[in-house]
Amino acid sequence: MYEIWLVMNIAWEIALGLWPLLLAAALLWTVLLLTAWRRPGTRWRPAVLPAVGIGAVVMLAAVLLVPGWSRSSLSEMGYWVDWANLLTVAGGFGAAAWAWAWPLLAMRREGTPV
């Protein structure tokens, strides 16, 4: 349980250092959502599955790339907390990709390439 608390504290400290960037991303995403919501012809439901696919691809890429970014490797992950952290970080990247892709794909017109 201590390891989980430690990871949560580390994530909080990292977020504190990046709060201007996180705030800007949240504001831009809100503007994107409002733009998609107000635009006539936005097709939310058909855009869900392609957006989930994009999120899954980004999550898989993050699982493979994040250990290298932290100067580690998948072979050094021997503890369940390491895997939980990696999957959580990769899930965060995948969720962010999905959240940005969904309104963009929903605003796409029929016949327009992705």
Please say if the pLDDT value at position 114 is more than 80: no
How many other CB atoms are found less than 10 A from the CB of residue 54? 19
Please say if the pLDDT value at position 108 is more than 90: no
Arithmetic mean of pLDDT, 38-66: 94
**109 vs 31 pLDDT, higher one:** 31
Q: Please give the Cα distance from 112 to 114 (Å, whole number).
A: 7
- Say how far residue 34 (Cα) sits from the centre of its chain: 19
Please say if the pLDDT value at position 111 is more than 80: no
Arithmetic mean of pLDDT, 73-84: 84
Q: Please give the Cα distance from 93 to 102 (Å, whole number).
A: 14
C-alpha pair distances (Å), 110 with each of 42, 88, 89 = 10, 35, 34
What pLDDT band is residue 110 in, cutting at 50, 70 and 90?
A: low
The overall average pLDDT reported for the chain is 89
Please say if the pLDDT value at position 61 is more than 90: yes
Tokens coding 37:
């919501």
Q: Please give the Cα distance from 7 to 87 (Å, whole number).
A: 13
**111 vs 77 pLDDT, higher one:** 77
Q: Please give the Cα distance from 110 to 44 (Å, whole number).
A: 13
Q: Please give the Cα distance from 113 to 94 (Å, whole number).
A: 22
